[in-house]
């Protein structure tokens, strides 16, 4: 999972590995009274859990709504605001290579592009899919790399995943200002 933060409309990118405490800028509050972001391994429900301690309940807003104390599930591209900073969470695109093992991956698996039967022990890639569009495509690593080298526009035929697309990024400043107007309107109408 990637955590983006925005202060004064600039943005910095951070890679989140383990649970991370979202501490205020001035560090006036002890770390254990700060919200904590925990990446989730299984993305079925969401990509991360945001824990809001009692000490700061109501101080974290998610899509303009103040969060009560407790755990809150965040989805890809969700944003929240705390301590005058805006945060976004996003999935990290990872295409991992592994060795094909029929016991693990299932018997009679075929390369999604060439339709060739996979041989035990050969290097394969599992398509990471796109957020909200999981993909079951498996490729021979050599085929995937050849396809990419021959055509930089190559997309997974199964789900449209773009290997050159890079990671999700927060909306532009203009779109962000628009979102802020919506948030304010929401707060005022609440
Ligand atoms: Zn795919």
Domain-wise residue ranges, the chain: 2-92, 97-150
- Cα–Cα separations (whole angstroms), residue 44 to 75, 89, 130: 10, 15, 13
Residues 48, 64: Cα–Cα separation, whole Å: 18
End-to-end CA distance of the chain: 32
Tell me the pLDDT band of 76, cut-offs 50, 70 and 90: confident
The tens digit of pLDDT for each residue in 139-179 reads 999 998 998 899 888 888 888 888 888 888 887 766 667 76
Q: Is the pTM of this model over 0.85?
A: no
DSSP 55: G
Ligand 1 centroid to Cα of residue 107, in Å, is 20
Q: Could you give the count of Cα atoms lying within 13 Å of 24 in the half-sphere of its Cβ?
A: 14
CA nearest neighbour of 124 among 111, 101, 140, 137:
140
Ligand 1 centroid to Cα of residue 38, in Å, is 26
Ligand 1 centroid to Cα of residue 155, in Å, is 8
22 has a pLDDT exceeding 60: yes
CATH topology classification for 2-92: Tumour Suppressor Smad4 (2.60.200)
User: So what's the pLDDT on residue 13?
Assistant: 63
Do the Cβ atoms of 115 and 121 come closer than 8 Å? no
């Amino acid at each position: 999972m990637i955590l983006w933060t925005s202060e004064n409309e600039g943005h910095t990118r951070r890679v989140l590995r383990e649970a991370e405490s979202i501490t205020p800028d001035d560090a006036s509050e002890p770390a254990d009274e700060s919200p904590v972001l925990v990446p989730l391994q299984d993305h079925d429900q969401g990509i991360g859990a945001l824990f809001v301690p009692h000490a700061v309940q109501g101080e974290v807003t998610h899509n303009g709504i103040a969060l009560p104390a407790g755990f809150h599930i965040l989805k890809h591209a969700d944003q929240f605001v705390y301590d005058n900073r805006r945060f976004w969470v996003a999935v990290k695109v990872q295409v991992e290579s592994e060795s094909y093992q029929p016991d693990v991956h299932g018997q009679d698996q075929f390369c999604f592009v060439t339709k060739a039967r996979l041989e035990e022990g050969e290097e394969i890639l599992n398509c990471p899919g796109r957020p909200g569009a999981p993909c079951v495509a498996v490729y021979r690593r050599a085929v995937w790399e050849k396809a990419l080298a021959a055509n930089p526009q190559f997309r997974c035929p199964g789900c449209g995943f773009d290997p050159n697309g890079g990671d999700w990024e927060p909306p532009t400043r203009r779109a962000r200002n628009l979102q802020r107007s919506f948030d304010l309107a929401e707060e005022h109408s609440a």
